[in-house]
Amino acid sequence: MKTAKVAIVGFGTIGSGVARLLVEHQERISRHAGRPVQLARVVDPDLSRPRNITLPKGLLTDDLSKVTGDPDIEVAVELVGGLEPARTIVLKLLESGKNIVTANKALLAEHGQELFDRARKLGRSIAFEASVGGGIPIIAAIGQSLSANQIQSIRAILNGTSNFILTQMEEHGRDYAASVAEAQRLGYAEANPAMDVNGSDAAQKLAILAHLAFGTKVNWKAIPRIGIDTVEVADLRYAKELGYSIKLLAVAKLVPEGLELHVSPTLVRQGTPLAEVRGAYNAIRVIGDAVGQVFFHGLGAGQMPTASAVVADLIDTVVGRTAITFHTLELWSNDRRTLVTARDPDSVPGRFYLRFNVDDTPGVLAELAGALGRHNISIASVIQHETEEEADGVVPLVIMTHTAPEGAVRRALDEINRLSCVHEGTVRMRVGGSEETHR
Ligand code: HSE
């Protein structure tokens, strides 16, 4: 049987994990692939950095042409990350006849159409299980296992770093910066952790899932997103008092007006499955019209969980399964009919938790309530704890709203934030409601 030679391009955290699986478990992987699988090359500009795997001699190179110029290499794994040079590298690899496996959600969310069109023209495939949900097989689940269904909604924790940070803050009252540093040390965070904490990483992953599940072509930048970078330990305490945990949720929901999409820190009812997702875990709740509710839970970031998904894609590609699904799914293709368009983000309704830092003086509450009222936003409750006189006279004020369109809330906050009695640091979060089902 012909040996399937594979290459890794990008020898960082995930690349080392993939190399470990391929080198240390070659026999198992070959058995699952039905023929010998051999790591033939690893490409990275940094030849000296220590990694937690010792490669067989001569494998590591900084020269991509050792892969593009070797016709025996069938599959290349792109683990460079980011947009460039990753995009150029994938195009070169496709041109040289390689099938691609990638974990790069930013690349797919930004250049999916170009890369998939190129692969189709060249008769190659691109597999991307590791791009969403780390080790959770959500791409295969939505693309294949749930294909009898019309997916109705996806409600998900898609960023392990944010969930890790929120868990540290909630359980240990640990400060935000220390939690970010720890997430980076553990290899969960992106090279630029801003993408993790400002909701961009989750929005990119949501755009991929929305395309797969609903055929919706949406630019991830058009998905309204709020990050966790404004959340304070105090918000987690208020939420707890109200019976909620805070999670960075990515939501896609099919309604008659189209597909509702948003990423936002969300108050999730305690005792529901999503509220119990801790640390770097991700979870994805999918509702399909035939299957009902399905819940996926697993490590969404980190070396070996992500490597697990990458190597599964490698095996699928070697077996030939990827080529079949790649062509039938017609992802990021102009030929694929757009089945559902995204709903105008401003019209997407929700209940909101708002926290303001305000002067503790008469009339302030009336000013805020007036601004909300002018935008037709109804107040459900107000929390202001009695405090000792603050030295600077600034106190937190929490307002929970009834259901209102996102655009109206955003506009009301723009107005409120300009008031002289309102100080920096306004927080806006969604509040999960009846859609949170208990076990
Ligand atoms: N940085 C990502 C996360 C992992 O924290 O979830 C890779 O997608």
Q: Dump pLDDT digits (tens) for 366-386.
A: 999 999 999 999 999 999 887
- What is the 64 CA–ligand 1 centroid distance (Å)? 26
Q: Exposure pattern of 119-147 as b/e (b: 16+ CB <10 Å)?
A: bbeeebbbbbbbbbbbbbbbbbbbbeebe
Higher-pLDDT residue of 384 and 320 is 320
Give me the pLDDT at residue 235, please.
94
List the domains of the chain with CATH numbers: 4-134+305-329 (3.40.50.720), 140-299 (3.30.360.10), 348-431 (3.30.70.260)
Whether the per-residue pLDDT at 43 is higher than 90: the answer is: yes
| Helical H segments across 283-405, by residue range | 303-319, 321-329, 364-374
Which pLDDT band holds residue 439 (cuts at 50, 70, 90)? very low
Q: Which of 5, 105, 205, 253 is catalytic?
A: 205
| 205 tagged catalytic | yes
Q: What is the DSSP string of 27-54?
A: HHHHHHHTS-EEEEEEE-S-SSS--SSP
- Separation of first and last alpha carbons in the chain: 48
**pLDDT tens by residue, 72-114:** 999 999 999 999 999 999 999 999 999 999 999 999 999 999 9
Pocket of ligand 1 (CB under 6 A): 159-161, 188-190, 196, 201, 300-301
361: three-class secondary structure by DSSP? coil
Average pLDDT of span 265-287: 97
Give me the pLDDT at residue 178, please.
87
- What is the 375 CA–ligand 1 centroid distance (Å)? 37
Q: From CA 154, how far away is CA 285, in angstroms rounded?
A: 6
- What is the 417 CA–ligand 1 centroid distance (Å)? 32
- What is the 161 CA–ligand 1 centroid distance (Å)? 6
**Residue ID of nearest Cα to ligand 1 atom 4:** 301
Q: From CA 356, how far away is CA 383, in angstroms rounded?
A: 11
Give me the pLDDT at residue 175, please.
85
**Residue ID of nearest Cα to ligand 1 atom 8:** 301
- Ligand 1, pocket-test mutation among 128, 136, 138, 161, most atoms within 8 A of CB: 161
> What's the predicted TM-score (pTM) here?
0.94
Give me the pLDDT at residue 389, please.
61
200: amino acid identity, one letter: S
Cβ proximity of 265 and 248 under 8 Å: yes
Q: Which tokens belong to 274?
A: 């999503």
The overall average pLDDT reported for the chain is 94
Most confident of 48-52, 75-79, 176-180: 75-79
Average pLDDT of span 310-333: 94
Let me know if 219 is exposed, middle or buried by CB neighbors in 10 A (0-12, 13-18, 19+). exposed
HSE on the CB side for 387, CA within 13 Å?
Answer: 14
Nearest to 410 by CA among 435, 430, 389, 390: 430
Task: Specify which residues 5 forms β-bridges with.
Answer: 38, 73
- For residue 300, which atom of ligand 1 is closest to its CA? 6
Whether the per-residue pLDDT at 284 is higher than 50: the answer is: yes
Angle value at C-alpha 85, between 84 and 88, nearest 5 degrees:
100
Distances (CA, A) of 95 to 56, 89, 125, 289, 307: 28, 10, 12, 41, 25
